[in-house]
Amino acid sequence: MQYIEYAPAPRLARFVDRLWTLEGDPDDLAAADQPILPDGRPELIVHFGDPFERVLADGGVERQAGAVFAGQLTGPLVLRATGRISVLGVRFHPDGAATVVRESQQAMSGLTIGVDAVGAHLTRALDEARDRAASTADSVRTVQEGLFAVIDPERIDDRIRHAVRAIQTRRGRINVDDLANAVGLTRRHLERRFQQLVGLSPKRLARIARFQYARAMLERLESPGRGISTAVTCGYADQAHFIREFRELAGCPPEAHLLRQAELTGFFSDAGA
């Protein structure tokens, strides 16, 4: 399984965190079902091979479209490869997807939806980018060129951008009232703008940022007391609080996560550090 990350072109860096490609065969994955954990960043996914299936909570499956917008996750998303894996991803900053998806980001939360249902402007741009790409690696260039044509930078709110960066810098350990005061908004106005442009409340984004930092720390430590150490370092009230958060956002307790063989979790999750 070959996973490669790319820095966005300077013109996109304000909106896009990174691009990535993934190529391989389902047999390269240690487990059939691959959980993707919330990291606070919406994504565009373009399949050049066989699209993944999304495994639903009731055990059913939903085959993804060839080009997908994945809104903010609030819990684990389980994917299953169906054949040849050849994927390009565009991972936005938490507030960046609002520049290309004109629906409220709150309405997109939890969805993996074909881009044809999101907007004709984005569908045309990605279809043209796929047609012009000579390879998955070349699509990093062509997809960015397509995004240049459809991005609306006026949909970036610098106050929300500053608040998002503060949450990331503090790894989620931040008071929402203090955050609202720092950017010159009331708490209610801050929360309303976050739902529209980020798709999550400031508190939920902060919880995800802290969780991702804790997840990365937990995976690095080797001592038997790593759960307690992680909980203390990351500012959880106690280990029970840490375990509850982990269950909600990862779908399992920390110990089960460490035993689970899931390559895509590591590829598509961000430590927020």
Among the candidates 117, 136, 154, a domain finishes at 154
The CATH number of the domain holding residue 40 is 2.60.120.10
Structural domain span for residue 236: 157-261
- Please tell me whether residues 69 and 150 are part of one structural domain: yes
The string of DSSP codes covering 194-247 is HHHHTSS-HHHHHHHHHHHHHHHHHHH--STTHHHHHHHHTT-SSHHHHHHHHH
Residue 273 lies in a domain: no
The CATH number of the domain holding residue 219 is 1.10.10.60
Residue 132 lies in a domain: yes
- Please tell me whether residues 132 and 165 are part of one structural domain: no
**Contact between 98 and 196 (Cβ < 8 Å):** yes
3-state secondary structure at position 271: coil
The reply to whether the predicted model has a pTM over 0.85 is: yes
16-24 β-sheet, strand order: 2-6, 16-24, 85-92, 43-47, 67-70, 112-114
Residue 269 lies in a domain: no
Residue 127 lies in a domain: yes
Q: Where are the alpha helices (DSSP H) in 119-183?
A: 120-132, 136-150, 158-169, 176-183
The type of residue at 46 is V
Give the count of domains, the chain. Answer: 2
Among the candidates 128, 154, 180, a domain finishes at 154
Q: In angstroms, rounded to a whole number, what is the distance separating the alpha carbons of residues 110 and 42?
A: 10
Instruction: Render pLDDT for 183-211 as a digit per residue (tens, 0 to 9).
Output: 999 999 999 999 999 999 999 999 999 99
Instruction: Render pLDDT for 204-244 as a digit per residue (tens, 0 to 9).
Output: 999 999 999 999 988 887 776 788 888 999 999 898 999 99
Residue 219 lies in a domain: yes
Report pLDDT for 30: 65
- Please tell me whether residues 129 and 212 are part of one structural domain: no
The residue behind tokens 């550090």 is 273
**Contact between 202 and 215 (Cβ < 8 Å):** no
Q: What is the DSSP letter of 268?
A: H
Instruction: Render pLDDT for 56-87 as a digit per residue (tens, 0 to 9).
Output: 988 899 999 999 999 999 999 999 999 999 99
- Please tell me whether residues 136 and 177 are part of one structural domain: no
Among the candidates 94, 121, 154, a domain finishes at 154
Instruction: Render pLDDT for 8-63 as a digit per residue (tens, 0 to 9).
Output: 999 999 999 999 999 998 787 767 888 899 999 999 999 999 999 999 988 899 99
**Contact between 71 and 110 (Cβ < 8 Å):** yes
Report pLDDT for 261: 63
3-state secondary structure at position 115: helix
Per the rule left: phi > 0, alpha: psi between -120 and 50, beta: everything else, 216 is alpha
- Please tell me whether residues 93 and 209 are part of one structural domain: no
